[in-house]
Amino acid sequence: METSQKLIGKVALITGGTTGIGLATAQRFVAEGAFVFITGRRQAELDAAVQLLGSQATGVRSDVASLPDLDQLFARIKEEKGHLDIVFTNAGGGEFAPLGGISEAQFDKEFGVNVKGTLFTVQKALPLLRDGASVVLMSSNAGSTGTENFSVYSATKAAVRSFARTWTADLKARRIRVNAISPGPIDTPGLNGLAPDAATAEHMKGFMMAGIPLGRMGQADEVAKAVTFLASDDSSFITGTELFVDGGMTQV
């Protein structure tokens, strides 16, 4: 992995950092010189990710939808490092359901993780964030398009994109930059998990690729590179924006 050590000396938090985009971003951050805290809900996956990342990473089992878990997370970060320079709110998820078949449990779960979890992760990070820090919010191109049977997830990601605007205004006095990253279809375990079996997953990905101008699925490290850009001083005059990493899918 070619790097320029653009995050040397930085302390970062990545929620949902055990697999997919979160893990790829953690690898990229560590390679660029950062110390990274990652979270996950499953201890075995968390341990495996930390082993892969090495001595520049700490894993903390945490559910972003649980405020007591978040309190413990930030107490750990404060004790070990004392501050944060970067927060990437990657934890999230969703499932397909047609209008008319959406359950209250699905609504509460997706808004609990994607919206509530994002809000309170950033709010509770504020005392540790240095002035001039960077916050990157995981949105999705689904927040800007009308994907059939995906209304709850899409609404959560539209809310996250709105946070990037309003928090930019809220935090301007501290020069904390807040941006949203909006991937399209990325070949990750999370995407494959939307389908009930492997054959359906391949069919789903084929359908998605037909709408991507670049003609292929994205890879997790391609998103990680974009997050690293927004987290670093390379994007020092960029805030409140949404960066699409979707092969042109939303723009054409």
- Cα 2 to Cα 29, 95, 194, 236, 243, distances in angstroms: 12, 35, 32, 22, 22
Q: What is the mean pLDDT of residues 187-192?
A: 80
pLDDT in tens, 40-54: 999 999 999 999 999
157 and 205 belong to one structural domain: no
pLDDT in tens, 110-136: 999 999 999 999 999 999 999 999 999
* Strand partners for 138: 181
90 and 208 belong to one structural domain: no
75 and 158 belong to one structural domain: yes
34 and 156 belong to one structural domain: yes
Q: What is the mean pLDDT of residues 167-184?
A: 98
CA distance 252 to 203: 22
Query: In the sheet that 129-138 helps form, which strands lie side by side, from edge to edge?
Result: 57-61, 35-40, 11-15, 84-89, 129-138, 177-183, 242-245
Q: What is the DSSP letter of 66?
A: -
The answer to whether residue 6 sits within a structural domain is no
The answer to whether residue 199 sits within a structural domain is yes
In one-letter notation, the amino acid at residue 64 is V
| Mean residue pLDDT across the chain | 96
48 and 171 belong to one structural domain: yes
The answer to whether residue 251 sits within a structural domain is no
Residues serving a catalytic function are 153
175 and 213 belong to one structural domain: no
82 and 204 belong to one structural domain: no
200 and 136 belong to one structural domain: no
List Cβ neighbours of 200 (8 Å cut-off, separation of 6 or more).
none
32 and 119 belong to one structural domain: yes
99 and 120 belong to one structural domain: yes
If one counts the domains in the chain, the total is 2
The answer to whether residue 35 sits within a structural domain is yes
The answer to whether residue 72 sits within a structural domain is yes
Range of 84's domain? 11-183+220-245
CATH label of the domain that carries residue 240: 3.40.50.720
Q: How confident is the model at residue 15 (pLDDT cuts 50, 70, 90)?
A: very high
